[in-house]
Structure 1
Amino acid sequence: MNIQALAQQIPVEGEYSLEGVDFITSGDQYLTFMLDTEQYAVDILCVEEIRSWEKPTRIPNAPDYVKGVINMRGVIVPIIDLRAKFGIGVADYNETTVVIVLRYESPTHSRTIGFVVDAVSDVLNAEEDEVRESPAFGGVIPHHFVNGLVNVGEGVVTLLNLEALQEIEPHTAGLG
């Protein structure tokens, strides 16, 4: 699925629900996805494409969470398994597994990177005052990867920090 197909599923004015999530007509939009039983989200403006899982070309000596690279219309895109990066069990790549391709722009560079997730959920709109700061209590995901938390119904969606996620730590095995 690409971002244009996803955008066609966003309700037009007068429609107020998106698969059980109330649709708010203002605020920031996030693409939500699943890792294990938890929901996470990234800024939808950074999403370039949602692709079905395909085995990438492995990169020798890359960290375990870097699954390899794919060629996306002439652009070499590194593929990061978020379950492996966050230490959330072993991923079972199946028909719902997708790669969310994101483009991160900073003042000094831009990077296109793909993140393997269990499944894409919804588009979430959140007002700035609905985003809560993440408590630093030593959870599964390191604090610098989290931008905030949003209550959605009975659950909580973790908003991820793309600036931190796009950094690939240097591989140190065998150095010393």
Structure 2
Amino acid sequence: MSNLIRKETGGNALAVQEQVGQYLTFLVDKESFAISILDVKEIIEIANITRVPLTPDYIHGVINLRGNVVPVIDLSARLKHRCAEVSKRSCIVLVEVEVAEGAQFIGMLVDEVREILEISPANIQPAPDFGTDIRTEFIQAMARVDEVFIILLAINKVLSLEELSQLGRIADSRGNQFSEQD
């Protein structure tokens, strides 16, 4: 699955490792996204998501996964500011993100899981600086597969617990401002 390429630079041979990566592809609001298969811990059916009062819209709720409380982020709301409509094909992609204390499991609510694709580095291009309605820091790169572009998400940016908690505090303070005015 990996090729070793030798490049000549100034008389010295430099070995460069080129690897084909495997990516899990999924749909969110009819748009194709992917994350490295190495980031995916599990794909689970939607069942018993408990809503948490006074949380932002992008926090769909929490689930009990083998005795652990796991937050579930509505990826559509996180990326595009509109909540997902849960259907029969919707599921939760469980990932592990790095936090100061180690690692944290987080579920991403997606509309549909598609397939695992092998994408070579030659088919991956840098993220665009413009032309998308998604924050640019959420995009790791763009992959071209069969004349279709797939957005490769920067999972540690999209699911940054620090940013999510800051946004939650802002939403809480706004909610308190509105309730104090009423």
**Which residue in 1 is equivalent to 2:144?**
151
Q: Deviation at 1:89?
A: 4.2
Is it true that 1:125 corresponds to 2:118 in the alignment? yes
Structure 2's unaligned 5+ residue stretches are 1-18, 178-182
What CA RMSD, in Å, does the superposition of the two structures yield over aligned residues? 1.9
Q: 1:60 Cα shift?
A: 2.1
Bigger radius of gyration, 1 or 2?
A: 2
With a CA cutoff of 8 Å and minimum separation of 6, indicate the structure with the bigger relative contact order: 1
Structure 1 unaligned residues grouped into runs of 5+: 1-25
Q: Which residue of 2 aligns with 1:137?
A: 130
Match of 1:173, SS state, is: helix
Aligned residues: 151
Report runs of 4+ in structure 1 exceeding 4 Å deviation.
Answer: none
Contact 2:74 2:83 in 1 (8 A): no
- TM-superposed deviation, 1:151: 0.6
2:26 counterpart of 1:39: no
- Which one has a larger percent helix, Structure 1 or Structure 2? 2
Alignment of 1:66 with 2:64, yes or no, is no
Partner of 1:15: none
Q: Is the 8 A contact 1:36 1:88 kept in 2?
A: no
Give the C-alpha shift of residue 42 in structure 1.
Answer: 0.8
Quote the residue 2:92 is aligned against: 99
How many Å apart are 1:31 and its aligned residue? 0.3
The separation in 1 between residues aligned to 2:90 and 2:39, in whole angstroms, is: 19
**Deviation of 1:107 (Å):** 7.4
Identify which of 51, 56, 70 aligns with 1:77. Answer: 70
Look up the equivalent residue of 2:95 and give its one-letter code.
L
Aligned equivalents of 2:148, 2:131: Cα separation in 1: 20
Which residue identity does 1:133 align to in structure 2? P
Whole-Å separation in 2 of the counterparts to 1:65 and 1:117:
12
Aligned to 2:47: 54
Identical residues among aligned pairs (%)? 32
Q: Does 1:30 align with 2:23?
A: yes
Provide the TM-score with structure 2 as the length reference.
0.76
